[in-house]
Amino acid sequence: MKRLKCCLNGHSLSSEVTGRIEFRDVQFRYPARPKLRILRHFNLICNSGETTAFVGPSGSGKSTTVALIQRFYDPHSGTILIDGHDIKTLNIQWLRSLLGLVQQEPVLFNLSIRDNIIYGDNSRQVAQDDIEAAARKANIHELIASLPEGYDTLCGAKGGQLSGGQKQRIAIARSLIRNPKILLLDEATSALDNKSEKVVQDALDQARVGRSCITIAHRLSTIRDSDKICVVDRGQIKETGRHEQLLQQQGIYYKLNMAQERPDNSQNN
């Protein structure tokens, strides 16, 4: 079990990590655009073991939250906490070892499938059993095992030898190889066709079991079962609730949902 190591006034504080995330009055501007405020008094608690989804217009600040959790940037003001501890007080390498990230476009190298998965944990010698366990959770092991070269199969430059869904499932396995406490999903299925999306979504559903998860999505169908859905607009959370609760409010989420369902309705008619 990973333990929280936090240096406070020169002392070490250790406790079991649960993965509770809190944004406390966070405000943020990108250094290259100091006049444009991306997050405004952003307040949110993501409970441990639950899935919190962010939806909303492009440019509203959704992906910025993921960048801040990873400490690619620090807030202009306010605090981000994990298990009640300011992440700026944590060793950054250790902090990132808690996190698993799956993005819209997975970055795969012209190496074997095995090496691409192992790349997710450079802190140890990864055993083959661990690689296969991560691949099973990502719903990709059986396909890999069916290939003539198995886990030694080359992915090709940028994963060019694989389909979009296969690349994404290998990226999921890579994110799971370190057994993260927190899973960050940034538009992880938005670039896939409907068939591939279903397979990858099943893998993501399995991957997030027992973990805190923040997922950013354009397709609302992929986040309907989330424990909490947050509608982000102009850097602020405007609506929060479960899918059915937000529909009943007939606000921003309701309008987004109606807009996405219209094409399906027209096809069915």
Exposed, middle or buried, 250 (CB in 10 Å: 0-12/13-18/19+)? exposed
Query: Given this model, what pLDDT does residue 1 score?
Result: 55
Residue 197: what residue type? Answer: E
Q: Are strands 212-216 and 182-186 parallel, antiparallel or unpaired?
A: parallel
Distance of alpha carbon 196 from alpha carbon 116, whole angstroms: 20
H helices of 119-225, in order, are: 128-137, 141-146, 164-176, 194-207
The pLDDT tens digits for 95-106 are 999 999 999 888
Phi and psi angles of residue 254, each rounded to the nearest 5 degrees, phi first: -60, -45
* Two tokens, residue 251: 């606000």
Rounded to 10 degrees, the C-alpha dihedral 56/100/77/31 comes to: -80
The pLDDT tens digits for 122-176 are 888 999 999 999 999 999 999 999 999 999 999 999 899 999 999 999 999 999 9
Given pLDDT bands bounded at 50, 70 and 90, which one contains residue 48? very high
Query: Given this model, what pLDDT does residue 223 score?
Result: 94
Contact between residue 161 and residue 155 where contact means Cβ atoms under 8 Å apart = yes
CATH class of 1-98+226-269: alpha beta
Which residues face 22 on adjacent strands?
45, 81
Instruction: Summarize the confidence of residues 235-259 as an average pLDDT.
Output: 96
DSSP string, 25-89: EEEEE-TT-TTSEEEEEEEEEE-TT-EEEEE-STTSSHHHHHHHHTTSS--SEEEEEETTEEGGG
Exposed, middle or buried, 259 (CB in 10 Å: 0-12/13-18/19+)? exposed
Averaged pLDDT score across all residues of the chain: 90
Q: Which helix (H) or strand (E) holds 163?
A: none
Q: Are strands 99-103 and 85-86 parallel, antiparallel or unpaired?
A: unpaired
Its pTM stands at 0.89
